[in-house]
Amino acid sequence: MSDLHSHTVAFVRDTMLPQKAPPGTSVGVVGWMRENLFSGWFNSLLTIAAMAFIYLVGSIILPWLISPTWQAESLGECREILAGLGREGHFGGACWGVIRDRWIQLLFGFYPPESYWRPILALVLLAVALAPVLFSDKVPRKLIWFSAISAFIMPWLLWGGTIWTPLAVIAGFVLAYFVYKAVDTAAGALAAIIAAVVAALVWWLFVMGPVSEALSSILPLGIEPVESRKFGGFMLSVTIGVVAIAGSLPLGIVLALGRQSDLPLVKAICVGFIEFIRGVPLITLLFVASTLLNIFLPPGTSFDIILRVIIMATLFASAYMAEVIRGGLAALPKGQYEGADSLGLDYWQSQRLVIMPQALKISIPGIVSTFIGLFKDTTLVSIIGLLDPLGLSNAIRADADWNGIVWELYGFIAFLFFVVCFGMSRYSMYLERKLQTGHR
């Protein structure tokens, strides 16, 4: 007898069995449900309770949503239609006629209808201009120049006026660039930056106006100007939101760096600014923009109300942005700073090449949260009498036809905001995955 295993037991299988299909209770829908919904008596109980709740809510909301009132001309007509179907009472059905009647107004406010193509074109430009920023690996890099130029085209499209104004603004940047180059070789980087900023400011504040006026009197190229008062609805929210978002990120980075600066004056200014803005509610700032400035400025000075609001919203968001980015900076190990220094990079180089790419990556969720919060905060302008979607919903209710309509309007506005905010949130998750370098 050998000691081989096969000789000591009665039976040994010497061929592999073919794989069997898993039991029916652990695959497919049934398997998924067993695993995820009914994996124990407690979970089963919770599942049933949740389903009952969803059914309860759905059975009220869905019939309300599905309501053949699209063509109605007034709330009374909606009620007649629903009464004709035997659906009466508080949950009888939505009155969608108000959305059909007013959706264009909710989107564009009081913008002249013959010029609707302008905000639409501006939105398309915005999408194209954002592509090289948001999806830098999928589109040609050269497109970034287009983005830079659209930043000047879009306001021109929205507010109209002569073409020379945006061109003169661009000329200011060109001027600043050449001043920087000239002074840089003569007197060093810091002096060059200061000289460039001063030159640009002088150009924008004192020279640009007469120059563009003169040019437009020679060659009057332009489109119909639209006053800020005509802005309203979702367009107003998007305008304020986009400008404030685009402005607050760079400003926030500068403030965050300034707060960590070794220069006491810079640090004091940045800390003071951030803490002041964060210590004051946005509403207060908006009231300052709308009423307090009015009292200090002489009557007749038209300092555009929307511009005032945009500036306030940008400053407000940039203070929060600075703190979010400071969090990213603080999360970087000290070795990164020292490594950059040991490579011989100067301050700006090390920030640009080593520190900021990592700090911003860490801060993405916080940055996008701030963006989303900022975008939703734009609805606060209804308090100072600007007709954003929420302000308009009140104005629409003041129409005797639609007085008493609440849920339909708020639902529609909420849907608009949800689409934008949800889009931003999904993009931030995509960006995080893309920039994932396996540190965790």
Partner 1 sequence: MKKSVFLGALTVAGLAAGAAAAGTLDDVKARGKLNCGVTTGLVGFAAPDANGNWEGFDVGVCRAVAAAVLGDPQAVEFVPTTGKTRFTALASGEVDMLARNTTWTFSRDVDLKFDFVGVNYYDGQGFMVPKALGVSSAKELDGATVCIQTGTTTELNLADFFRKNNISYEPVPIETNAEGQQQYLAGACDTYTTDASGLAATRASFENPSDHVVLPEIISKEPLGPLVRHGDNEWGDVVRWTLNALIAAEELGITSANIAELSEGTNNPEVNRILGTEGNLGEMLGVSADWAKNAIMAGGNYGELFEKTIGENTSIGLARGLNAQWTDGGLLYSPPFR
Residues that bind partner 1 (CB under 8 A): 75-76, 79, 88-90, 101-102, 104-105, 109-110, 113, 205-206, 209-210, 227, 229, 287, 290-291, 294-303, 382-387, 391, 394-401, 403-404, 406
Instruction: Select 209 or 220, whichever has its Cβ closest to partner 1.
Output: 209
- State in angstroms the smallest separation of the CB of 416 from partner 1: 18
Q: Toward partner 1, which CB reaches closer, 99 or 416?
A: 99
How many angstroms separate the CA atoms of 366 and 364, rounded?
5
Give 35 or 304: the residue with its C-beta nearer to partner 1: 304
User: Between residues 2 and 301, which has the closer beta carbon with respect to partner 1?
Assistant: 301
Q: Residue 101 CB, nearest distance to partner 1 (Å)?
A: 5
b/e burial code for range 47-80 (CB count within 10 A of at least 16 → b)? eeeeeeeeeeeeeeeeebeebebeebebbeebbe
For partner 1, the closer CB: 132 or 391: 391
CA 341 to chain centre: 35
- What is the rounded distance in angstroms from the CA atom of residue 398 to the CA atom of residue 417? 23
Residue whose CB is less far from partner 1, 357 or 385: 385
Tokens at residue 127, please?
């999408």
Min dist CB 380 to partner 1, Å, is 12
| Rounded least distance, CB 94 to partner 1, Å | 14
- Find where tokens 């150009």 sit: 203
Q: Minimum distance from CB of 358 to partner 1 (Å)?
A: 40
Question: Of 206 and 348, which CB lies nearer to partner 1 in the complex structure?
Answer: 206
Smallest separation, CB 210 to partner 1 (Å):
7
Phi, psi angle pair for 300, to nearest 5° = 95, -15
Q: How far apart are CA 382 and CA 282, in angstroms?
A: 13
Nearer to partner 1, 271 or 384 (CB): 384
Closer Cβ to partner 1, 95 or 157, answer by number: 95
Contact residues for 106 (Cβ-Cβ < 8 A; gap 6+) = 99, 233, 234, 389, 392, 393, 396, 409, 412, 413, 416
Residue written as token pair 């002041």:
276
Rounded-to-integer distance, Cα 437 and Cα 73, Å: 57
The residue (of 230 and 361) whose beta carbon lies closer to partner 1 is 230
Q: In this structure, what is the dihedral angle of CA atoms 82, 84, 87, 93, given to the nearest 10 degrees?
A: -10
Do residues 96 and 408 touch, judged by C-beta distance below 8 A? yes
Residue 188 structure tokens = 């060093």
CB of 385 to partner 1, least distance (A): 5
- Residues with Cβ within 8 Å of residue 164, at least 6 apart in sequence: 211, 212, 215, 216, 221, 222
Residue 242 C-beta: closest distance to partner 1, Å: 23
Write down the least CB distance from residue 311 to partner 1, Å: 13
Ranges of beta strands (E only) in 174-326 are 222-223
Half-sphere exposure of 332 (CA within 13 A, CB side): 22
Closest contact distance (angstroms) between CB of 36 and partner 1 is 38
